[in-house]
A and B are shown apart, each in its own frame.
Chain A
Amino acid sequence: MSKKNTPTKKESIKENKKESGFKTYFKELGEAISKGDWSVKLSMLFMGAGYTAHKQIIKGILLTLFEALSIVLFVIFAIPSLKDFGTLGTVKFEKILDPATLQTTVNDYDNSFTILLGSIVSLFLVFVFILIWIANIKAVYRLQLIDQLPESINKPHINNFWGGIKTLVNNKFHITLLFLPTVGVILMNIIPILVLIAIAFTNYDQNHMPPNALFTWVGLANFKSLFTNTVTSSFSYAFGKILGWTLLWAVLATVTTFFLGILLAMLINVKGVKFKKMWRTLFIVAIAVPQFVTLLLVRYFFDDAGIVNSVLGNLGIVDVLKNIGLVNEHLNYIPFLSSEHWAKFMIIMINIWVGVPYQMLIATGVLMNIPTDQIEAAKIDGATNFQAFVHVTMPYVLFIQGPALITDFVKNINNFNVIYLLTNNSYITPDQAMANANGKEVDLLVTWLFRLTNEYYNYKMASVIGIIVFIICAVFTLTLFRKLMSGGREEQFQ
């Protein structure tokens, strides 16, 4: 083990030295600019100049072409958006009926969303351009330093154009590997997130929908209305309630499925249980059916007038529940998914139904690899089965499953399917204040924001809620991951 570790340690030391952050990044840039010769300074203006001066013509030409293309794109695409970025457009959409021809013409209006999107994309590209520009200056300065070395010593090898391409499949292979996935992530994640963060500071909602209307910056007004209650807005009331339920749900959903999954795995794994494989497969069949099919089905199963209710009604169980006060007297059915407390209870139960087989499978794998000598040692020392479970099995399982538990918690905070498919169309909130904020008691923050956008076009509030969900998840994961990852967990097994 120790032999294996040596190269890793060396590597990580090297890595730590290199990774000393932003400070060095700008220090190097400052040094390059102040100490660079004329070729460095000229390449600040013409990016290819430095390389050309150091006899790398192809790189020089390519860089200059890149610069020229960037400038042309900037003038054509970025400037028209960016000039309206401060106001998000001023010319309103108007239709004019020309009385002579009886044809309506549309004026040259501003579309606030296009302006916002265009500006953000432009700013992002400008940022990327600046990064490349800085990298170029540093590279030219490095060339200069190498040139200045005395002839007598062995100079470090300088890559020409083709050599540079070759390193992309070798030393700098990570650049090749990460390029396309990064472009994808920028398109699908970074730019949308930037757009939505921007929308949180605008009044983009049903009354300000492009192209027919303009929206504009409103500063922190949306955040204010989420945190303060006014007569006209009940968002802060709804937010408090939904946030509470979201957190409660995430904890309950994660904990119940995790522990019940382990218990089920142990129940099947015990010596003396026959047909182990059959039992496992039966449980897996239940969750192998696509979730949306089973969830929609279960919704009809537990409908107010559904089959469970008619069976339980015939058996007289509904009356029993009425007598002990679990069901409202006026009802002749159990409001499984239509009253707040029943619905929350059922959602947790159905989630157990969905989630336990997964956890059972994973726990089975983990339990099979548990070092049995430790359990036996504990038993020889006089530990009972239960003590061995608490002090040996659980810590081991938690160690292996720790990161998965964190991701599960975050996934549950954002668990759209279970809540939406079970309660959409079947749960109607009795609380006027909740209804005013377009929320329901059983909503999670994500389902709330989904309906805010998809049904009510309230993009501004949805963005604010999204940012808050993001902050909760990020703070939570980062603190926990830091704890788990400390102590070189990552390279432990290499």
Chain B
Amino acid sequence: MIKFKKKFIAFLRHLLLAILVVIWLVPILWLVVTAFSGYSGVNKTHFFPQSWTINNFVTLLTKPDSVVQYGTWFKNTLIISIFTCIISTLFVLMVSYAFSCMRFRGRKELMSFSLILNMFPGVLSMIAVYFVLKSIGLTNSHLGMIIVYSAGSGLGFLIVKGFMDTIPVSLRESAKLEGASEFKIFTKVVMPICKPIIVYQIISSFLIPWGDFVFAKLMLNSGVSKDYTVAIGLYNMLDRSLVNEYFAIFCAGGFVVSIPISILFIIMQKYYVEGVTSGAVKG
């Protein structure tokens, strides 16, 4: 009897999980099936399309028109994200090392100041940034977007610094005794230990331009489809006047961009959990 009860509870657990998974996956499923839909607008009565086709993908990838420039958008976003990724990873690592491993005058004040600065809504200061970049002619350009995404990235040091805080001081002390300079300690001692959190940092900063919507919308306002990033391009397809013609293509575009992003995201999560929780293990 008890065994039966246990089995029943286990069954209920699995059932609950299955129901939850269905809820979580319904929108994704809708995205995928609509991407293969023969009807180009929003299907309002049927979940599954009545006719199937791969034309949406063909149009998306091979026939750029005035609205859809998917290949160009993908290239734009890729260029921006590669540079953003390099610059912000370096910035974050540099700031984290300085704050975590070095002791200097004004360190705590500087840290609190950065924390406070990070509280300021980015959306708001972005408007001033827009004017600044506009006055030097960098809106609607790759360089401008790279600056927007990476220049202030040094403020996001909290997670990486938290990880570096868990590295035993004795490691650095002994390296110092052997005559290593701080630069050597940074590159040869601390960086190798930080591998999981560096991977996390690399992927998460790489993903910013792919997921960002606000800043790109502010900065890329030329109305020229060629300048867009994937996010803005896709959003633009849902304009009232375009949605009936482009909704299925939007889904196809969302589907295509999701594949690499999801893979990177899943890798990143693994390293994030590893990095964030490893501190607790060492304690």
Contact = CB atoms under 8 A, between A and B. Distances in A.
- Residue with the greatest number of chain B CB neighbours at <10 A, chosen from A288, A291, A470: A288
Interface string A261-296: 000100110101110000101111111111111101
B28 A477 contact: no
B124 A196 contact: yes
Given A188-B147, A273-B10, A425 B266 contact: no
Contact of A297 (B17, B31, B127, B263): B31
Provide the main secondary structure of the chain B interface: helix
Contact of A184 (B42, B152, B258): B152
Contacts of B274: 365
A470 B231 contact: no
Nearest to B131: A113
B106 interface: yes
A180 B231 CA distance: 29
A248 interface: no
Nearest to A309: B44
Contact of A193 (B20, B120, B234): B120
Interface string B37-59: 00000111111000000000000
B71 interface: no
B124 to A, nearest CB: 4
B28 A286 contact: yes
A459 B261 contact: no
- Residue with the greatest number of chain A CB neighbours at <10 A, chosen from B24, B42, B107, B121: B121
Interface string B194-222: 00000000000000001101100110000
A357 B23 CA distance: 12
B105 A4 contact: no
A301 B30 contact: yes
Interface in B241-273: 247, 250-251, 254, 257-258, 261-263, 265-266, 269, 272-273
A182 B110 CA distance: 11
Contacts of A337: none
A185 B238 contact: no
A139 interface: no
A181 B24 contact: no
Nearest to B124: A466
A264 B182 contact: no
Contacts of B28: 285-286, 289, 294
Contacts of B95: 177-178, 181
B10 A296 contact: no
Nearest to B47: A307
Interface residues of B, number: 108
A192 B169 contact: no
Contacts of B281: 369
Given A117-B135, A307-B43, A174 B102 contact: yes
- Residue with the greatest number of chain A CB neighbours at <10 A, chosen from B94, B257, B279: B94
A353 interface: yes
- Residue with the greatest number of chain B CB neighbours at <10 A, chosen from A181, A288, A459: A181
A450 B123 contact: yes
A293 B254 contact: yes
B16 interface: yes
Nearest to A404: B276
A470 B165 contact: no
A438 interface: no
Given A289-B262, A290-B261, A368-B277, A267 B165 contact: no
Interface string A187-207: 111111101100100000000
A303 B41 CA distance: 14
A293 B258 contact: yes
Contacts of B45: 307, 310
B103 A288 contact: no
A455 to B, nearest CB: 12
A12 interface: yes
B266 A281 contact: yes
Interface string B59-97: 000000000000000000000000000000001001101
Nearest to A462: B124
A478 B116 contact: yes
Nearest to A180: B91
A300 B24 CA distance: 16
B143 interface: no
A407 B211 contact: no
Nearest to A17: B105
14 contacts: A177-B102, A184-B91, A187-B152, A188-B151, A188-B152, A196-B127, A288-B263, A289-B254, A293-B258, A296-B250, A307-B30, A307-B45, A403-B158, A493-B279
Interface of B: 6, 10, 13-14, 16-17, 20-21, 23-25, 27-28, 30-31, 42-47, 91, 94-95, 97-98, 102-110, 112, 114-117, 119-129, 131-132, 135, 147-148, 150-155, 158, 162, 165-170, 173, 181-183, 186, 210-211, 213-214, 217-218, 231, 234-235, 238, 240, 247, 250-251, 254, 257-258, 261-263, 265-266, 269, 272-274, 276-277, 279-283
Given A178-B94, A187-B132, 16 more contacts: A4-B170, A19-B108, A184-B151, A192-B125, A196-B125, A283-B24, A285-B28, A286-B25, A290-B211, A293-B234, A364-B273, A369-B277, A400-B280, A403-B162, A494-B165, A494-B169
**Which 8 residue pairs spanning A and B have beta carbons closest together?**
A181-B154, A192-B128, A288-B262, A365-B273, A466-B124, A188-B152, A173-B182, A184-B151
